[in-house]
Amino acid sequence: MSSREKFEYQVELDLIVHSLYSHKRVFLRELVSNASDALDKLRFLSVAEPSMLEDSSELEIHIKPDSDNRTITI
């Protein structure tokens, strides 16, 4: 990802956060909740179609804080 793409993505994300959510914490909680719902749906669908998971039996959400850069990577 180029620095321009990262900047554009950050600007779009800031607009979404500020226009839809009153607090960044609420946005972060919603983002993680939506990711969890997506993983639950994939687990459910994989019961009928096991190939959907292929080799990934462990579905996880990783959250990595970087206090030096004041970022969170999900």
Q: Sign of the CA dihedral 49, 50, 56, 62? A: positive
pLDDT at residue 37, rounded to an integer: 92
Q: Are 74 and 39 in contact (CB under 8 A)?
A: no
Hey, where are the domains in the chain?
A: 13-73
Terminal CA-to-CA distance of the chain, rounded, Å? Answer: 16
| Residue 14 pLDDT > 80 | no
Q: Residue 36: pLDDT band by 50, 70, 90 thresholds?
A: very high
Q: What pLDDT digit, counting tens, does each position of 20-34 carry? A: 666 777 778 888 898
pLDDT of residue 17: 64
Convert the pLDDT of each residue in 37-74 to its tens digit.
988 998 898 889 888 887 766 888 888 888 898 888 88
8 A C-beta contact, residue 59 and residue 42: yes
- Distance set, CA 37 to CA 19, 33, 34, 70 (Å): 23, 6, 5, 27
